[in-house]
Amino acid sequence: ILNVEQSPQSLHVQEGDSTNFTCSFPSSNFYALHWYRWETAKSPEALFVMTLNGDEKKKGRISATLNTKEGYSYLYIKGSQPEDSATYLCAFDVIGQGGKLIFGQGTELSVKP
């Protein structure tokens, strides 16, 4: 059974704090690692698709790194803002499984003004 774990489960920070979350996934049968942001009452929004070991991606104040050999990815948010409050999901894209994503349980971020 393929397992994807995210930590922490929830995080409460003050506006301006920088924060990071972890996604752990199997180091075998890797095709890609996806990050999504899901705000309450909205659609999950794709942040990054990462495929190569050592990949680093950036979108505004959010960045992510990937280590496929040890099976983890970090998501960083620099200078958190209240609008960053959301659940951040990672998903493991298994090679040969036709795009089936195995999701972690998510990290719920709350940023207080």
Partner 1 sequence: EAGVAQSPRYKIIEKRQSVAFWCNPISGHATLYWYQQILGQGPKLLIQFQNNGVVDDSQLPKDRYSAERLKGVDSTLKIQPAKLEDSAVYLCASSIRVQGGSQYFGPGTRLTVT
Structure tokens at 84: 């960053």
DSSP designation for 52:
S
The one-letter code for the residue type at 11 is L
Q: How far is the CB of 87 from partner 1 (least distance, A)?
A: 10
Using an 8 Å Cβ cutoff, are 96 and 89 in contact?
Answer: no
Nearer to partner 1, 16 or 58 (CB): 58
What does the per-residue mask of binding to partner 1 show for 66-95, with x meaning CB under 8 A?
A: -----------------------x-x-x-x
Query: Which of 32, 64, 75, 109 is in the footprint of partner 1 by CB under 8 A?
Result: 32
Long-range contacts of 65-68 (CB under 8 A, 24+ apart): 66/33, 68/27, 68/30, 68/33
60 contacts partner 1 (rule: CB under 8 A):
no
Kindly list the residues in this chain that would bind partner 1 in the complex (CB under 8 A). 4, 6, 31-32, 34, 36, 41-46, 49, 51, 89, 91, 93, 95, 97-106
